[in-house]
Amino acid sequence: MARLLGELPRGAPAYEGLAARIRRLIAEGRLGADHQLPSERSMAIALGVSRTTVTRAYTELTDTGYAHARQGSGTAVRVPGSSRGALGGLLAVQDVDETLIDLTCAAPAAVPQSAAAIAWAAEQMPAQLRGTGYYPEGLPELRDLVAARYAERGLPTSPGQVLITSGAQAGLALATRLLISPGDRVLAEDPSYPNAIAAVRGAHGRLVTHPIDAAGWDAATLESTLRRAAPSVAVLMPDFHNPTGALMGASMRARLAEMFRRSGTTVVVDESSAELSLQHPSGMPAPFAAFGADVITVGSASKSLWGGFRIGWVRAPERMMAALVGTRASVDLGSSVLDQLAVSHLLRDLEPALAERRAGLRRSRDALAAAVRSQLPSWQFTLPGGGLSLWCALPRPYGPELVQAAERTGVLLVAGGRFGADGGLAANLRLPFTVDESVAAEAVRRVAVADERVRSSFATVRRRSETGRTPLIA
C-alpha cells in the first residue's frame, strides 16, 4: 500500500493528502470495493506519519463515501455510487438511482429481434427436455452456425473447431488457463480490456505490455518486444480494440502473425467487437486467425446481439478441442440450452439484427462525438470506425478527479487507469456509445459540468500555491 500511495503531497494537511491519494487509487480501480485498508497503526508506521493522520484520513474517506468502517475489523474501501466494485466496475449494474447515467460498461441493450428469438427457443425446448441438456462442446446447430459465420468472414472453419462458451470472458479464461503456465510471459496491449488482463493474471502469467493508441500497433516495437521477452502467449484485440477502438489492417495482421509464428508465441485473439464495424463491414479484414495457423479466437454474441445471452465461443485448431473441453469441465459443463437456441435463431438470419445494431451504435457514436467536440473542445479523440467507445485524451492528467466529480453530476465513468496494465493513464477516459443518442448528449453535458469544476479547482489550487498555500491535487 505504501508503494502504491507513493510520496504524499507536501504541505497540505497530511491527512488530506493521504485521503486524496487513496481516493485516486479507488478511482483508478487499483483498490476495489471491500478492499481492506491497513490498520491505522501499520499504515502510520509504513508511511512515517502519526496515527492521528491516518485516523483523520480514514474518517474523511468514510464521510465522503469512499470507505466504510467495519465493526471490530478496521476500514474497507467503498466504491461510491454503486455496487459495481465486485464486477470490476465494468459490467452493467442496474443502479437504484434512475437519474444516474452509467457509462462504466461498454455493452448495448439487446437487439430488438431478441424477444422473438427467445420465444422461438422456448418453443423448441420440449424436444430438448428429453435429453440431459449437457453440451460440453456446445449445441451442434450453434457450432454449425458459428463456423459458417467464420467462413462468410473469410476464415473457413469446421464445426469441430468451435466450442461454445458462456461469453467471451469464459472463452478467454479457458484459453489462458490452458495455454499459460505459472510464470510464463504473456504479451497484452496496454491499455487493454481489464478482464482480459485479469484472466492472464488469474492464470499466473507475467504481463509484457505493448503500448497502443487509436493509431494501433507498431510492428517494429512489437518485434523488439518479442525478441527481448519471448512471450509464450499473446492476447490481442485486433478488431476495434477495447478501449482505443483501433482496427488492425490486413497487411499488419499478416506481418504480426508471421512475427508471432517465428517467436513461437501462441496468439489468443479476442474479437468480441469484430461484427461492429460502423463504416464498411464488407471492407473488414479477414479474422486474424486467417493469417496464422495456430491462432485461438475468442468471439461473442454479447456485443453484436446481447450480453445477457451469455453466449460466446472459442475457435481453435481441431486438435486442441479435446484439451479445451477438458479444461472447461473443471469450470462448467456447458452453456444454457435455451440461450444457445435463441442465439442460433438470431445467427440464422443475422444481417437484420446486425444492421440494426450498427445503425444504433453509429447514431450514438456520432451524437457522443459531436457533444464532446462542442462541449469539451480541449479533449481529443480519434473517431473509431467501429466498436463501442471513444477513447478520449484529456488536456491534463485529471481523469481520476473527473470520475469523482462526474459522479456528483450523475454520470458514472471508469478512470482510464482501469484499462492500464499498471494503472496510470490518468489523462485518458473511455466514453462508451452504448446508450441512446439523447442520453449520450446529456451525459456529455454533465461531464462537461464536472470537467469545469475540476479545472476550476486546479485554478484555485494554482492561485493558492502562488500565495504559498498548498496544492491539494498533485
**Considering only residues 217-246, where is the footprint of ligand PLP by CB under 6 A?**
237, 242
By CB under 6 A, which span of 164-172, 395-403, 444-452, 465-473 interacts with ligand PLP?
A: 164-172
State yes or no: residue 312 binds ligand PLP (CB under 6 A): yes
d(CA 62, CA 114): 43
Neighbours of 390 (CB within 10 A): 24
**Considering only residues 190-219, where is the footprint of ligand PLP by CB under 6 A?**
193, 196
Residue window 267-306: x/- pattern of binding to ligand PLP, with contact defined by CB under 6 A:
---x-x---------------------------x-x----
DSSP secondary structure of 32-98: -TTPBPPPHHHHHHHHT--HHHHHHHHHHHHHTTSEEE-TTS-EEE--TTSSGGGGTT-S----S-T
Nearer to ligand PLP, 168 or 188 (CB): 168
DSSP 3-state assignment of 373?
helix
Beta bridge partners of 188: 209, 235
DSSP 3-state assignment of 361?
helix
State yes or no: residue 335 binds ligand PLP (CB under 6 A): no
State yes or no: residue 93 binds ligand PLP (CB under 6 A): no
Nearer to ligand PLP, 19 or 186 (CB): 186
**Minimum distance between the CB of residue 401 and ligand PLP, rounded to whole angstroms?**
25
Contact 100, 410 (CB under 8 A): yes
State yes or no: residue 168 binds ligand PLP (CB under 6 A): yes
Q: Which residue has the cell 504541505?
A: 11
Q: Report the residue closest to ligand PLP, judged by CB.
A: 167
All three cell numbers of 165: 462458451
**Minimum distance between the CB of residue 222 and ligand PLP, rounded to whole angstroms?**
19
**Minimum distance between the CB of residue 473 and ligand PLP, rounded to whole angstroms?**
31
The answer for residues whose C-beta is within 8 angstroms of residue 144's C-beta and 6 or more apart is 159
Nearer to ligand PLP, 17 or 85 (CB): 85
**Minimum distance between the CB of residue 303 and ligand PLP, rounded to whole angstroms?**
7
Tell me which amino acid residue 187 is: L
**Minimum distance between the CB of residue 166 and ligand PLP, rounded to whole angstroms?**
7
State yes or no: residue 161 binds ligand PLP (CB under 6 A): no
The alpha carbon of residue 453 and the mean position of all alpha carbons in its chain are separated, in whole angstroms, by 27
- Residues that contact ligand PLP, how many (by CB under 6 A): 15
**Minimum distance between the CB of residue 342 and ligand PLP, rounded to whole angstroms?**
15
For the four alpha carbons of 148, 153, 157 and 163, in that order, the dihedral sign comes to negative
Task: Please count the CA atoms within 13 angstroms of the CA of 370 that sit on its side-chain side.
Answer: 11
Binding site for ligand PLP (CB under 6 A): 106-107, 167-169, 193, 196, 237, 242, 270, 272, 300, 302, 307, 312
